[in-house]
Chain A
């Protein structure tokens, strides 16, 4: 059950998170993305090619209920989340690339997500509220645009908004942990391990396949780490928001199970992956001799 207050809070949080995403951008970032279409293509393929397919395989091979399966599918089709930027930063990845992938996947998501959802839902014979999802996605572009304008008007307001946005993305996890888990304790204790496999596997397989794909294309290790995290880390808050605004009452709780569990576990998965990445070879980074400062 999601109360009116929590729904409002959720809306506010996602608004600020998207505002922060917009504030990290300038129009020239889009220009650059288009100038290097292969980068854009890699991002879109891993985000909307691999992730939904991983979701599809999980649904096919795990005996999940209809509600859980819809949760997995929506989660798998989401664009990249802003938390990926934080993890990219700490794993010494390419922060600019991460920000760009997150944003382009969000912008292109408006068109791609409904198409992919409909395709997979038909294949899996699942009922999904298509119009609702499209409306939510379009609505989300409003704060992104406002964020971009804020940045343009005042660099300080932009930087503060950006900072708040990524911090809030982390607080969101705490919000889920505090508001959703206690009320669904019973469900979490009784549900089959398959639910957990799906929630954890989506992120873990996403990161692994993203990394393999990037290495296969001979991307620089720094960029490969970025693509990996970007692929595996989805916009959890967005999935939860879409479900909260689409389904009502107890129904929503079970649809939300996988996105909520995913959002919690992806933090753990990403932290572990970040630790591994940090140890990986960073020698190729452009090193500056000490004399400059």
Chain B
């Protein structure tokens, strides 16, 4: 029976709930604790390095360690409920400890991209005002520059091989220090994560602290995570994701897969970084909740870094972006011996190309299911239902979620009409941190407006046709043209600069810069090198074009759309 309001529910499997209802837990710490009690001695997280060296945490160990960190944050570092704590590290065993510890302390987790430059970190810290920072040693040299003017009082330092057995940990440490020289001296007062845990444990023993007390008053409506996304003006905006958003979205994300997901039996490969909302909610929280074993890859580049993980573990699930699936399909070792126990793979972050999906199916014999979501929706909004995917669509809304399209004037459109995609459901954020105006801009009553233009067919399958904003989506990461333009404009030889996104075979879209310069000696390589000093890699323009002038509107605003049209016309012609 088709429900006229929610026709897509007809495509849910027989064991999929159409409505999830009230969250099963009041807050994330309750969920974390309950899962740890169920799976106790099973292996929860394994961090696997390119040479096969690895470390593992069991559910019960992780529970104890995150308790200790929570106590450290509250009793030793002196934080209060609601204080922000930034986490900046690649995938490693320290990540779950840090994230769970912060949440159990009743604090707010702020995910930070570990590859951010000091300038980018500074912008985010200025906005979030974290009281503590948990950072990996490799990037700790950026702290002084990043915290100038707005100090972060507590710094906890960890390392990639933390909580590995002694021998591999020692070897990795020595190699990083003396061979790669990737670990530089840390110039700010700090404590090591294991020492912080020891301090927390001794407090628990001495003062008989009940960690439960820190979060028993935390409700579904309280903020759990500040997840940053660059603002259209280049100023970062922190999406306030509540405990309710995340508890529910972990359920929504996996509900469509029904009984294909077996509790306590799955092994998921996490090559995407956990600070990104997709991996954070789906790989990290949802699969933790399922009692899965999570194989964490600190650095998936080059892709041969994944070889040992695929060889050594029975991977049943993985998530990725188009780039990752495409890349793996071109690796000989992967072609020869693809994982044999895979059930499905989930794709998100950027459009999955149908050629890539077809090749993946051919190699692994399994489907890649595409999902769609945004930072502001915690993130999952739609997913392709298993076995019923339709080419060119991003699937159907997940349970308890409504999707509709809106006209320019904010009125809802009829099904089939093209407009701005809006989302209503329990996963929609509480708003942007300290930015009520920005929040008002994207909310239409209870509907969150995504900035993507598309339409929904009669069955409820959603297609995206265009993006409303000028933002560029590089391999699942949003790049805001203004931010890149600001950096370019600061270069002494650059008179004017404009940035657009252009189609790119491997990353979906790539950043292209148009530059007006007086200096003939300035070349593309110099521009890119300059950008690399100020911007994370994915924001650096892949293409640079020098021009005499830029197209402008009557009021002198650079017309990015004209540049896009021009670029498109040239691509088509040539």
Please provide the chain A residues from 24 to 59 with a CB less than 8 Å away from any CB of chain B in the complex.
26, 28, 32, 35
A-B CB contacts (within 8 Å), total count: 93
Q: For residues 240 through 293 of chain A, which have their beta carbon under 8 Å from a beta carbon of chain B?
A: 285-293
**Does B273 count as interface, using CB distance less than 8 angstroms?**
yes
B327 and A288 within 8 A (CB):
yes
When the two chains form their complex, are residues B54 and A156 in contact, meaning their CB atoms are under 8 A apart?
yes
Residues of chain B within 8 A (CB-CB) of A158 are 52
- Which residue among A159, A163, A285, A293 has the maximum number of chain B CB atoms within 10 Å of its CB? A293
Question: Is B390 part of the contact surface with A, judged by Cβ < 8 Å?
Answer: no
Q: A159 and B51: CB pair below 8 A?
A: yes
Give Cα distance in the complex from A224 to B49, angstroms. 27
A163 touches B506 (CB 8 A): no
Question: Which residues of B from 472 to 516 have beta carbons under 8 Å from A?
Answer: 474-477, 504, 506-507, 510
Q: Is A95 an interface residue (CB 8 A)?
A: yes
- Whether A291 touches B171, Cβ cut-off 8 Å, given contacts A28-B311, A163-B51, A286-B302, is no
Task: List residues 312-364 of chain B with CB under 8 A from any CB of chain A.
Answer: 312, 321, 323-324, 327, 330-333, 336-337
Nearest B residue to A96 by beta-carbon distance?
B333
- Whole-angstrom distance between the Cβ of A192 and the nearest chain B Cβ: 40
- Given A289-B474, A291-B476, A292-B324, A28 and B54 touching (CB < 8 A)? no
For B272, the chain A residues whose CB sits under 8 A away are 292
Q: How far apart sit A63 and B272, CA to CA, in the bound complex (Å)?
A: 62
Distance in angstroms from B367 CB to nearest chain A CB is 21
- CB pair B323 A292 closer than 8 Å: yes
CB distance from A232 to the nearest CB of B (A): 23
CA distance A35 to B321 in the complex (A): 30
Which residues 436-476 in B have Cβ within 8 Å of A in the complex?
474-476
- Decide yes or no whether A230 CB sits under 8 A from chain B: no
Partner of B510, one of A28, A160, A286, A289: A289
B25 close to A (CB within 8 Å):
no
Any A CB within 8 A of the CB of B115: yes
Are B302 and A288 within 8 A (Cβ)? yes
- Interface residues on chain A, number (Cβ under 8 Å): 23
Cα A35 to Cα B333 in complex, Å, equals: 12
A106–B477 Cα gap in the complex (Å)?
47
Q: Is the beta-carbon distance between B53 and A289 smaller than 8 angstroms?
A: no
Chain B, residue nearest A32 (CB): B336
Q: A159-B51, A293-B90 are in contact. Are A286 and B538 (CB under 8 A)?
A: no
> Is the beta-carbon distance between A292 and B302 smaller than 8 angstroms?
no
CB distance from B100 to the nearest CB of A (A): 23
Contact between A292 and B301 (Cβ–Cβ < 8 Å)? yes
**Chain B residues, CB < 8 A from A288:** 300-303, 323, 327, 506
Contact (A286, B321) CB under 8 Å given A32-B337, A159-B53, A160-B53 = no
A156 to B165, CA, bound (A): 8
Q: Which of A95, A160, A293 contacts B167 (CB 8 A)?
A: A160
* Interface membership of B147, Cβ < 8 A: no
Residues of A within 8 A of B538 (CB): 289-291
Structural contact, A163 and B171, CB atoms closer than 8 A? yes
CB distance from B163 to the nearest CB of A (A): 13
Nearest CB in chain A to that of B321: its residue: A292
> Complex formed: what's the CA distance from A61 to B304 in Å?
44
**Across the interface, which residues of B come within 8 angstroms of A292, CB to CB?**
272, 300-301, 321, 323-324, 475-476
Q: List 21 A-B contacts (CB under 8 A).
A: A32-B336, A35-B336, A96-B304, A96-B332, A96-B333, A155-B52, A156-B167, A156-B168, A158-B52, A286-B331, A287-B506, A289-B475, A289-B504, A290-B538, A291-B323, A291-B474, A291-B538, A292-B301, A292-B323, A292-B476, A293-B115
Given contacts A156-B165, A289-B504, A289-B507, 9 further A-B contacts (CB under 8 A): A32-B337, A35-B336, A96-B332, A155-B54, A156-B52, A156-B167, A288-B323, A292-B272, A292-B475
Q: Which residues of A are interface residues toward B (Cβ below 8 A)?
A: 26, 28, 32, 35, 95-96, 151, 155-156, 158-160, 162-163, 285-293
What are the nearest 8 A-B pairs in CB distance?
A: A291-B475, A290-B537, A290-B538, A289-B507, A291-B538, A159-B52, A159-B53, A291-B474
